[in-house]
Chain A
Amino acid sequence: GQSLEQPSEVTAVEGAIVQINCTYQTSGFYGLSWYQQHDGGAPTFLSYNALDGLEETGRFSSFLSRSDSYGYLLLQELQMKDSASYFCAVRVTDSWGKLQFGAGTQVVVTP
């Protein structure tokens, strides 16, 4: 079967660094995306990795190792507004946009 595993919840204090891991077992792999979703809101795009390595966008970075079927999202200098759910999603076919999502990681930022 296909699966994406990520921790269900992570708690950290303001200013800290949080790493959210995602391991995947899928029938195909064409890229790993990360999305953020605040309670009651729409998911919003954070990053996309098609090749191995680190992608940095401001306080957020994303890493991919295709040989290990593993990626992570790194949140630095945590702020209260970063409290949200974070989803990894694998593009499982070369058909545009077909994504398989993980169950999400709830990040709770405390003062």
Chain B
Amino acid sequence: NAGVTQTPKFQVLKTGQSMTLQCAQDMNHEYMSWYRQDPGMGLRLIHYSVGAGITDQGEVPNGYNVSRSTTEDFPLRLLSAAPSQTSVYFCASSSFRDRNHEQYFGPGTRLTVT
């Protein structure tokens, strides 16, 4: 199993550009989520999904869109990049069958907006 994969690993955008961060998991997990992590801070939830076709907002959703058309994929779209979106983005997944609610994280995408 590859686990949770994210592409790209690094990205530089100019203000106003849009892009999509890709996330995929091969563990057949129902739950997927996107977090951002800023220096010296914990992770903040952007959006999450409990299954294909179902998404909801987390703590910091503004400026981001998501969709979940398949169990495996959960892309994150930045509509019009701003310097405040410079961050490290982590995708995570977990299984409803796991009583520990363990979340498996991808390696992250390091985004810089200039």
Give chain A's interface residues, CB within 8 Å of chain B. Answer: 4, 31, 33, 35, 41-45, 47-48, 87, 89, 91, 95-104
Contact = CB atoms under 8 A, between A and B. Distances in A.
Contact of A91 (B33, B101, B107): B101
A5 B54 CA distance: 32
Contacts of A47: 100
Nearest to A104: B42
Contacts of B35: 101
Interface stretch (B18-26, B43-51, B67-75, B77-85): B43-51
B101 A103 contact: no
A82 B112 CA distance: 29
Given A42-B107, A97-B94, A102 B42 contact: yes
B44 A101 contact: yes
A103 B41 contact: yes
Interface residues of B, number: 28
B100 A96 contact: no
Q: Which 8 A-B pairs have the closest CB atoms?
A: A101-B42, A42-B105, A48-B100, A45-B102, A97-B31, A101-B43, A103-B42, A43-B105
Contacts of B100: 33, 45, 47-48
B58 interface: yes
Given A43-B43, A87-B42, A87-B43, A98 B48 contact: yes
A31 B42 contact: no
Interface string B78-114: 0000000000001010101000111111111000000
A98 B106 contact: no
A35 B92 CA distance: 13
B40 interface: yes
Contacts of A87: 42-43
Contacts of B107: 41-42
Contacts of B42: 4, 87, 89, 101-104
B71 to A, nearest CB: 14
Contacts of A103: 40-42
Nearest to B30: A96
Contacts of A31: 101
